[in-house]
Amino acid sequence: MTSQSKNTLIGAQRQAAIHELHQERMKLNIRLTFITVLAEEVKAIFYQNSRQKADQELTAAFLNEDSMIYGL
C-alpha cells in the first residue's frame, strides 16, 4: 500500500467517524428537544387542571356561601 492510498484510507475513516458522531449528536439533540417539549406540555396540563380545580372550589364555596346567606 502506498503512502497516498494509506492517507486516503485514514482520511475516509476519519470522515466516517466524524459523520457518525454528528449523526449521534443530532439524534441526542432531537431527543432532548422532544423531552423538553413533552415536559412543558405536562406542566401546562397540570397547571390547567389545577386552575380548573381551584375555579371549581371557588365556585362551590361561593354557592355554599350564598345558600347560607339566602337560606337556599
Q: Check: CB of residue 66 under 8 Å from CB of residue 72.
A: yes
Computed on alpha carbons and rounded to an integer, the radius of gyration of the chain in Å comes to 31
Whole-model pTM over 0.85? no
Residue-wise pLDDT tens digits, 20-51? 999 999 999 999 999 999 999 999 998 888 88
64 SS3 class: helix
Determine the straight-line distance between the first and last CA of the chain, rounded to whole angstroms: 99
Give the model's pLDDT for residue 56: 83
Cα separation of 57 and 39, whole Å?
A: 27
Q: Which three cell numbers stand for residue 13?
A: 475513516
